[in-house]
Amino acid sequence: MEPQERLKILLCAYACEPHRGSEEGVGWNWTLQLMREHEVWVLSWSKYRELIERELETSPLPHVHFVYYDMPSWLKPFGRSERLYYTLWQLAVLPFARRLHRQVGFDVIHQLTYTTVEMPGMLWTLDAPFVWGPVGGGQVPPPALKSYFRSIWLVELGRALRKQFLRLNPLVSMAARRAACILVANQDTYRLVESLTSVPLVKASETAVRLPSDVADRAEDEIFTITWWGHFIPRKGPLLALDVAAELRQRGARFQLLMGGVGPWKGLVDRRIVAMGLKDNVKTLGYLTFEEMGPLYDNGDVFLFTSLQDTSGNVVLEAMSHARPVVSLDHQGAAEMLTEECGIKVPILTKQQVVEDMATALQDLSRDPVRRRRMGKAGRRRVAEHYDWDQKREIAAQIYAAAVRGDTPSRARETVGAV
């Protein structure tokens, strides 16, 4: 596309940071893709300014203009939680974005991060085609595993009920009707959104990965190593991972479980490891940078994904890109990412059944290195075919062009790329 044909895009990426996964990585990597065909103004939280500008000193981004916003000081005390702060930021940023729109004249407004279906912001009120997503968050935690949430299960139950009444949220219902197109990250969220609007819906994951150029093979005589990475918070299921490890130990399996990450439950997990007699089998590694994650995957034989509530799960794709099979619960975004060729998905019936079936899946893989290698190669192929970042550029190009033309059929159920 010639420079004069570039669309002017306002990308609202509240979370946006280089060399990160999760929401920050979503914001940054979509920016890298959009700049290849468009002129992009990235509207982000001022928290990320220093990190972004440091990156731009050594790796400038052509066709990208970062603009930052933070709430006025008098409003900040009301943002006592992450969710509330984000909501207030999205509301407060509207006048700022409106002034920017008058100066630039955007062709498309794209609301990206956070990728939650419960807060679309207010940028859909601007006079330009509005693209929303990919959105997730429609998934709810499985009641059979509620004990892993401990005292906050009632809070999670309240959130689940709130999602069932999403149409009563005026910001969501109006944004859904005003959008030129909504990208939806998983089937759970699709079911929620499709009842709110008749505008086009496109299935597309919010995340992707870059394939490492080379991955290391594990020696067959090494101790069977299971890797786990995530925030030590209830919905990531770290206590489920420990129960699976305890089941393996009870069966006499020879293994180690390496758990990377930090979070408020890190201390609880460390205490549980001692109390359950797992010190010889389970080690917590603490914080790992994005660059340190590669060796973690390479040093493992299998990746264990125990998330109880997740739109997608970046770590699943990262493990697949490193040619490692994944053992996961058979639900939400991970169930759509994984196939039987590259992972084992455990159905959720009861807590004990999940623990035993996950342990059995890991034990079976520990005994079959040929199968592990075959599944690892299949995972890399699936990532290359369906979850490469370049595909986000192609998806955006199609959607932006249709939005600018005003192509708004009553409902599009097409899947662009894999979910």
* Percent of the chain's residues with pLDDT above 90: 78
Tokens representing residue 362 in the block: 């890991």
Asked whether residue 244 falls in the same domain as residue 122, the answer is no
Rounded Cα distance between 217 and 141, Å, is 35
Domain that holds residue 315: 224-386
pLDDT band at 290 (very low <50, low <70, confident <90, very high): confident
Q: Which residue has the tokens 């969220």?
A: 189
Helix, coil or strand: residue 210: coil
pLDDT score of 419: 47
Asked whether residue 260 falls in the same domain as residue 353, the answer is yes
- Confirm if 237 and 328 have CB atoms less than 8 A apart: no
Write the pLDDT tens digit of every residue in 312-369. Answer: 889 999 999 999 999 999 999 999 999 999 999 999 999 999 999 999 999 999 999 9
Domain tally, the chain: 2
Task: Return mean pLDDT, the chain.
Answer: 92
pLDDT score of 408: 54
Asked whether residue 175 falls in the same domain as residue 251, the answer is no
Lowest mean pLDDT among 53-62, 187-196, 289-298, 383-392: 289-298
Asked whether residue 163 falls in the same domain as residue 299, the answer is no
Write the pLDDT tens digit of every residue in 216-271. Answer: 777 776 899 999 999 999 999 999 999 999 999 999 999 999 999 999 999 999 99
Asked whether residue 202 falls in the same domain as residue 279, the answer is no
CATH of the domain at 183: 3.40.50.2000
Rounded Cα distance between 225 and 118, Å, is 38
The CA angle 27-30-36, to the nearest 5 degrees, is 140
Q: Which DSSP letter does residue 223 get?
A: P
C-alpha closest to that of 226 among 256, 269, 254, 246: 256
The reply to whether 303 falls in a domain is yes
The reply to whether 214 falls in a domain is no
Q: 121 Cβ partners below 8 Å, 6+ apart? A: 12, 90, 91, 93, 94, 111, 171, 175
The reply to whether 418 falls in a domain is no
| pTM higher than the cut 0.85 | yes
Segment 31-42 mean pLDDT: 97
Asked whether residue 361 falls in the same domain as residue 309, the answer is yes
The reply to whether 17 falls in a domain is yes
Q: Is the pLDDT of residue 139 over 60?
A: yes
pLDDT score of 417: 44
Asked whether residue 176 falls in the same domain as residue 89, the answer is yes
